[in-house]
Amino acid sequence: MSVMVDDDLWSAVGDPIRRRMLDLLLNDGSGTATSLSERLPVTRQAVAKHLVVLDRVGLVHATTAGREKQFRVDQAQLARAVAQLAEVGAAWDARLQRIKRIAETIQRRRGTTNDSEKKQ
Amino acid sequence: MCNQRLRKVARVEFGTIEREIHIDASPEVVFDVVSSPEHLREWWPDEAEFPAVPGGAGRIGFGDCTQGGIWVQFAVVEAVPPRLFSFRWTHEEGEPVAPGNSLLVVFELEPAGNGTLLRMTESGFRERGWDEAKVAAEYAEHVTGWDFYLPRLPAYAEKVAAGA
Residue B148 dihedral angles phi and psi, to the nearest 5° = -70, -40
Q: What is the CATH number of the domain that holds B47?
A: 3.30.530.20
Residue A64's pLDDT is 87
Question: In degrees to the nearest 10, what's the CA dihedral of B147, B152, B158, B160?
Answer: -100
Please check whether residue B65 touches A, CB under 8 A. Answer: no
Structural domain that includes position B109: 19-152
Q: What is the pLDDT of residue B155?
A: 45
Same domain, A90 and A67: no
The answer to the question of residue B161 being in a domain is no
> What is the number of domains present in chain B?
1
Smallest Cα distance from B67 to chain A, Å: 23
B36-55 residues touching A, CB cutoff 8 A: 39, 42-44
Concatenating the DSSP letter of every residue in A63-100 gives E-SSSS-EEEE-HHHHHHHHHHHHHHHHHHHHHHHHHH
pLDDT score, position B54: 92
Q: With beta carbons less than 8 A apart as the criterion, state whether B83 and B109 touch.
A: yes
Angle at CA of residue B155, ends B117 and B7, nearest 5°: 25
Looking at residue A73, its amino acid is V
Residue A93 lies in a domain: yes
What is the pLDDT, as a whole number, of residue A41? 92
pLDDT tier at A39 (50, 70, 90 boundaries)?
Answer: very high
- Closest by Cβ to A102, choosing from B6, B15, B153: B153
Do A6 and A48 fall into the same domain?
Answer: yes
Chain B: nearest CA to A90, how far in angstroms? Answer: 9
Mean pLDDT of A57-72: 89
**Which residues from chain B sit within 8 angstroms of residue A19, using beta carbons?**
14
The domain of A68 spans: 2-74
Same domain, A49 and A91: no
Hey, which residues 81-140 in chain B have their CB within 8 Å of chain A? 82, 111, 114-116, 118, 120, 122, 125-126, 129-131, 133-134, 137-138, 140
Count of domains forming chain A: 2
CB B119 within 8 A of CB B108: yes
Q: Quote the DSSP letter at residue B123.
A: E
| Among candidates B21, B111, B125 on the partner chain, residue whose Cβ is nearest the Cβ of A96 | B21
- A93 vs B126: CB contact, 8 Å cut-off? no
**Distance between first and last Cα of chain B:** 27
Most confidently modeled of A16-25, A99-108, B133-142, B154-163?
A99-108
Contact, B91 vs B72, CB < 8 A?
no
Q: Are residues A10 and A68 in the same domain?
A: yes
CATH number at residue A48: 1.10.10.10
Residue pLDDT, tens place only, B40-86:
999 998 889 999 899 899 999 887 767 777 888 999 999 999 999 99
For residue A9, what is the enclosing H or E element?
Answer: helix A2-14
Beta bridge partners of A102: none
Q: How far, in Å, CA of A18 to CA of A36, rounded?
A: 11
β-bridge partners, B55: none
Q: Based on the fold, state whether residues A53 and A81 are members of the same structural domain.
A: no
Residue type, A102: I
pLDDT at B150: 37
pLDDT tier at A8 (50, 70, 90 boundaries)?
low
Asked if the structure places residue A42 within a domain, the reply is yes
Residues A38 and A95 in one domain: no
Confidence of residue A94 (pLDDT cuts 50, 70, 90): confident
pLDDT at B119: 94
Q: Which of A3, A17, A59, A97 to mutate to probe the B interface, most B CBs <10 Å?
A: A97
Residue B99 belongs to a domain: yes
State the smallest CA–CA distance between residue B52 and chain A in angstroms: 17
Q: Which of A93, A104, A107 sits opposite B8 (nearest CB)?
A: A93
